[in-house]
Chain A
Amino acid sequence: TQLLEQSPQFLSIQEGENLTVYCNSSSVFSSLQWYRQEPGEGPVLLVTVVTGGEVKKLKRLTFQFGDARKDSSLHITAAQPGDTGLYLCAGEGGNAGNMLTFGGGTRLMVKP
């Protein structure tokens, strides 16, 4: 069974602070996706990283895929209240084929 562990599970910060969310596994994935979910809605894809060591930026969000393709991180610079939500990483490939294995999520609250 492939597992993706996210940390921290909960994070409450003030507007303007920086934060990093981690997604770790002992398994190798062919790609890793990050989703954001707001209350009452389904997750929405933010980014897909494919190559080991890859870094992608989406405005104030920076996503990195580990060199060994076993882990990933999401860094948010100068967090805004609009960043509040549940962040989910999902790995594709390995034993699960093209299926996605989701992490447990990081619930972020950004206070104004």
Chain B
Amino acid sequence: GAGVSQSPSNKVTEKGKDVELRCDPISGHTALYWYRQSLGQGLEFLIYFQGNSAPDKSGLPSDRFSAERTGGSVSTLTIQRTQQEDSAVYLCASSPSSGPYNEQFFGPGTRLTVL
């Protein structure tokens, strides 16, 4: 079956512009996560959606970052007024549930470059 897909794979934008990153999780997965990864480093948690519950936004670095998940499936991460320090790979992952020991299935990421 299809894995997690993300689009675009690469995005180059100018400082101050807004960008939208899309994630299509594995069908039936109720949990969805966004992470940020800089220069092949570890993953920085951004936001977590579980079913119809209110998202956990505790990892969002500033109010320029927001995300939504429509119909419990597709998610969009929006970065407003992008800054150079926003340049990174943004990874999306989905999981069958929010229970323990659940594997997270990752998409290939969107590489964002802010000039």
Contact = CB atoms under 8 A, between A and B. Distances in A.
B106 interface: yes
Interface string B39-68: 011111100100000001000000000000
A42 B4 contact: yes
Interface stretch (A43-51, A54-62, A64-72, A73-81): A43-51
A104 to B, nearest CB: 4
Q: Does more than half of chain B's interface fall in helix, strand or loop, or is it mixed?
A: loop
B101 A41 contact: no
A82 interface: no
B41 A33 contact: no
Range, interface on chain B: 20 to 34
Interface in B12-57: 35, 40-45, 48, 56
A11 interface: no
Interface of B: 4, 35, 40-45, 48, 56, 91, 93, 98-109
Interface of A: 4, 6, 30-31, 33, 40-45, 48, 50, 86, 88, 90, 92-93, 98-105, 107
